[in-house]
Amino acid sequence: MTEQPTHEDPSDLDIEILKKLSEDSRISLRQLAKDLDVGSPVTIKKHVEDLEKNGIIIDYGAKINFEKLGYEIMAIIEATISKGKMFEVEEKIAENPNVFGVYDITGTYDALILARFKTRDELSKMIKEIHKSPNVERTNTHFVLNTIKEGISFAALKEKENNKK
């Protein structure tokens, strides 16, 4: 019996599948099999299902230009949170639909929040809501002026990794 690859030990085919899916998550199993010179889409399907089951592939989705939809304000909010209350506060902040990232961080602040808004008023209301929590000691908010790069390509990461060898 062959051992299933883990997240630490994906097969070469798994890596190639991930590279292709990171470039185009809408690619068909048939096209993946053809591009990767694998005899059957069923083989690709099995690998994709295993990658999903193992939590390596966690979701599929469209890349959306939020600015074209009116969400022109992106804010990065740093927060200092009372000891022992970080997870509770972060979970509450994460419920806000404007928030697209909440991270525990090291340094002067405890948490980093990424959020998009249509208006400064919406941002102001969220910051005031965060400050209502008795466990938030302080925040520091940054406005993003220009986005130079957003997102990451697994294919590019692997290419860089392979070039180091």
Which pLDDT does position 89 carry in this prediction? 97
Tell whether 6 is covered by a domain: no
Residue 41 is assigned to a structural domain of this protein: yes
Same domain flag for 42 and 73: no
Please tell me whether residues 87 and 38 are part of one structural domain: no
For residue 1, what pLDDT is reported?
Answer: 41
pTM comes to 0.82
Same domain for 48 and 104, yes or no, is: no
Looking at the structure, tell me whether residues 80 and 139 fall in a common domain.
yes
Number of domains in the chain: 2
Percentage of the chain beyond pLDDT 70 is 95
Specify whether 137 is located in the same domain as 78: yes
Cα(91)–Cα(27) distance, integer angstroms: 34
* Residue ranges making up the domain that contains 130: 67-143
Looking at residue 107, its amino acid is: G
Q: Say if residue 102 is in the same domain as residue 77.
A: yes
